[in-house]
Amino acid sequence: MNQQEAQQRVEELYAMLHEQNHAYYVLDNPKMTDIEYDLLLKELIDLEESFPALASDNSPTRRVGGTVSERFEKVPHPSPMLSLGNAFNEADLIDFDRKVRQGLAEGTAFSYICELKIDGLAVSIQYENGHLLRGATRGDGAIGEDITTNIRTIRTVPLTISEKGKIDVRGEAYMPKKSFAALNAQRDESGEEPFANPRNAAAGSLRQLDSKVAAARNLAVFVYGIGSTSQLMDISSHSDGLNRLGVLGFQTNKERRTCATIEDVLAYVIEWTGKRTTLDYEIDGIVIKVDQFANQEALGLTSKSPRWAIAYKFPAEEAVSTLVDIELTVGRTGVITPTAILTPVKVAGTTVSRATLHNEDIIREKDIRLGDTVVIRKAGDIIPEVVRVVLEKRDEGSIPYQMPVRCISCGSDLTRLEGEVALRCMNSACKAQIREGLIHFVSRTAMNIDGLGEKVITQLFEANLIHTVADLYKLRYEQLIELERMGERSANNLIEAIEASKQNSFEKLLFGLGIRHIGSRVARTLAQEFGTMEKLIAAESEDLTVINEIGDKMADTIERYFEQAGNQDLIAELREAGVNFTYTGKKLDVEAVSDSSFFGKSFVVTGKMESYGREEAKEVIESLGGKVSGSVSKKTNVVVAGEAAGSKLTKAESLGIEIWNEEKFINEINDSKRD
């Protein structure tokens, strides 16, 4: 067989295998026997071996996995992955309906579409030119993790589709109940920790660095929407979109139903509340969406979620346990949080041994006492809580619980600030608060320093190596290696991770500083609006409050934060350490970068560079107005090729695409920044 004949046969095999895969996994209606399928697959594997040039990432042979990643790259989503507002009862749904009606022009015809809320994790699956290009987790909604090799192993996800152009398909990855039970049985037998529930199992499987492990986990995806598309797909409603996705070969959930009125919606909710356990997969509620795109657009979004959809969460399961103890912790702002320590009990699929008690008032209102028999639930959420005390079972002689009057860490008097329910330690030198502040700084949503968790921070703190977040940047290898259970490799990785965090976009740092009332979203808005730390510091109250999300109270805390000498010193130290003070996220300052040699061009980065990791290179290119894609095509303008670049470089050469080495890349960056 010559190459051309082989190519033709490969294409035939692709088509047959894809079709069978779809018939088997999505339609549940196999067209051939397993043996026939295996024979065709074997033929394809052999052909790819004899003609390596014919192998591709989206070959059905890749379903079994094989790629082992070192870590998951962070990838921005083409459009944000939003979450939904929640409804917990009929009244919430009726309220949602009222708001929808109010938001639409008088007399507008509209309908709802109800879907099962699959209990898994959201994924984005992008296609370009009909090929699966990337699969990503939701992450923080703006940036997720690249889990492409694992997504490819999911049999209900087509590797190629007939829709050309770019399309970002959104859905829920999940593990069917049966697969979950089998997996846990197997883990029990091999002495491994079982997964708490199918959602955790699915999430754990998709985060496997070895795609073979993920492939063996029998995951599936129900797609529930289109994030964005470059194609005019001639669809005008969500239900049209789902139907089209079905035709394209995706698995959509067939239990969806169009409802003309909120009464019909309520009937659907009641029906599925009763029937949920009959399904092969777990659901945790019902998602209700306004169907017509025109109506969705008219309703728009709030800061977090669309106004045209809501998630009804099933009522939580309850269980009974005993309150063994109340643990108190001091948070980074000095708040004392009580946590119930319980005799372990199963609630909604997981074993619960701790539950939040929130604050002093709640303990008093519910009159929760040590030794009480208590009812626990996981209300729609994952966080277990104490619902009430079973008074009939209370021991005689039990006494009401008293919160302490002094800080359990530093001993200073606790205060209750006006209008607050929390007890606070006001001593800013309180060790527990400082430690919590450090933990917050390195956490995922803040500076995201890999390898620096609560344990290491505590060790560093107790060894007197860090007092402020700026001290992290002064740490040396010799100091780290002295710590207990710290190997050479971990120490080196840690130094690298700390160094890498200096390049984070400004909002991460701003959030990490832990300024009161400044959550991660507000930090991002501030970073986008002001661009740099310097400009934010210089901002007056009025400059701050013109921003939608910033009220007087927030503006005031921000101003006061930067006025304090201690904070000014801290920022100076961070500057000295070389921590980035500039927003390099998605929003582009078009005017500033439109002259750059990156603007509007499509880049592919390949090979290894000394001064830039793949992800960093991507960030810089994007910040200068370029686009980065994973594969070389005729549309690629520039290939940045580091050391040991392979097939992408060869392909670029054959297509006559401009190629930059690292030196040229750096020069271009510097030139662009100077402009």
Locus of tokens 């130094």? 495
Both tokens of residue 525? 């808005």
| DSSP string covering 419-431 | T--S-EE--TT-H
Distant-in-sequence, close-in-space partners of 505: CB < 8 Å, separation ≥ 6: 527, 580, 582, 583, 584, 585, 619
- CB closer to ligand IVH out of 221 and 526: 221
The CA distance from 440 to 493, in Å, is: 20
Sign (positive or negative) of CA dihedral 385, 389, 395, 401 = positive
Closest separation in Å from C-beta 95 to ligand IVH: 17
What is the signed CA dihedral for 605, 611, 613, 617, rounded to 10 degrees? -50
Beta strands in 586-654 (DSSP E): 602-606, 627-628, 638-641
Both tokens of residue 369? 């006492």
- CB closer to ligand IVH out of 228 and 412: 228
Angle at 383 between CA 301 and CA 302, to 5 degrees: 5
Sign (positive or negative) of CA dihedral 348, 352, 358, 362 = positive
- CB closer to ligand IVH out of 254 and 406: 254
**Per-residue contact string for residues 153-182; x = within reach of ligand IVH by CB under 6 A:** -------------------x----------
Closest separation in Å from C-beta 600 to ligand IVH: 29
Q: Which of 31, 42, 74, 117 is catalytic?
A: 117
- Which residues between 504 and 533 bind ligand IVH (CB under 6 A)? none
Closest separation in Å from C-beta 93 to ligand IVH: 15
Paired strand residues for 170: 124, 225
Terminal alpha carbon distance of the chain: 57
Binding residues for ligand IVH, total number by CB under 6 A:
14
DSSP, res 315:
P
Alpha-carbon distances, residue 229 vs 128, 157, 241 (angstroms): 10, 18, 11
CA atoms within 13 A on the CB side of 341: 7
**Per-residue contact string for residues 598-637; x = within reach of ligand IVH by CB under 6 A:** ----------------------------------------
Nearest CA among 150, 275, 130 for reference residue 220: 150
Q: 295 with 108: CB under 8 angstroms?
A: yes
Which residue lies nearest ligand IVH, judged by its C-beta?
122
- Which residues between 309 and 338 bind ligand IVH (CB under 6 A)? 309, 311
- CB closer to ligand IVH out of 62 and 199: 199
Strands 309-313 and 85-87: what pairing?
parallel
The CA distance from 78 to 39, in Å, is: 39
- CB closer to ligand IVH out of 84 and 335: 84
Q: What are phi and psi of 172, to 5 degrees?
A: -115, 120
Closest separation in Å from C-beta 122 to ligand IVH: 3
**Total count of residues recorded for the chain:** 675
- CB closer to ligand IVH out of 115 and 436: 115
Q: Which burial class, exposed, middle or buried, applies to 47 when counting CB atoms under 10 A from its CB (0-12, 13-18, 19+)?
A: buried
- CB closer to ligand IVH out of 115 and 662: 115
- CB closer to ligand IVH out of 141 and 451: 141
Out of 3, 8, 33, 83, point to the residue binding ligand IVH (CB under 6 A): 83
The stretch among 1-9, 80-88, 210-218, 610-618 that binds ligand IVH (CB under 6 A) is 80-88
Nearest CA among 194, 98, 203 for reference residue 145: 203
- Which residues between 221 and 280 bind ligand IVH (CB under 6 A)? 224-225
Locus of tokens 């945790």? 284
The CA distance from 518 to 136, in Å, is: 27
Out of 75, 114, 287, 447, point to the residue binding ligand IVH (CB under 6 A): 287
The CA distance from 239 to 148, in Å, is: 27
- CB closer to ligand IVH out of 312 and 660: 312
3-class DSSP state for residue 292?
Answer: strand
Q: What are phi and psi of 376, to 5 degrees?
A: -115, 145
Q: Is residue 347 a contact residue for ligand IVH (CB under 6 A)?
A: no
- CB closer to ligand IVH out of 311 and 617: 311
Closest separation in Å from C-beta 172 to ligand IVH: 4
Angle at 624 between CA 620 and CA 628, to 5 degrees: 65
Out of 306, 331, 451, 613, point to the residue binding ligand IVH (CB under 6 A): 306
Closest separation in Å from C-beta 223 to ligand IVH: 9
Closest separation in Å from C-beta 507 to ligand IVH: 22
- Which residues between 103 and 122 bind ligand IVH (CB under 6 A)? 115, 117-118, 122
- CB closer to ligand IVH out of 304 and 476: 304
Q: Is 508 a catalytic residue?
A: no
Both tokens of residue 447? 């500076």
- CB closer to ligand IVH out of 229 and 409: 229
Q: 297 with 89: CB under 8 angstroms?
A: no
CA atoms within 13 A on the CB side of 548: 6
Sign (positive or negative) of CA dihedral 537, 542, 547, 552 = positive
The stretch among 306-314, 352-360, 520-528, 532-540 that binds ligand IVH (CB under 6 A) is 306-314
The CA distance from 227 to 169, in Å, is: 6
- Which residues between 14 and 73 bind ligand IVH (CB under 6 A)? none
The CA distance from 284 to 316, in Å, is: 9
The stretch among 305-313, 395-403, 531-539, 598-606 that binds ligand IVH (CB under 6 A) is 305-313
The stretch among 81-89, 374-382, 585-593, 621-629 that binds ligand IVH (CB under 6 A) is 81-89
- Indicate which residues carry an active-site annotation: 117
- Residues of this chain that interact with ligand IVH (CB under 6 A) are 82-84, 115, 117-118, 122, 172, 224-225, 287, 306, 309, 311
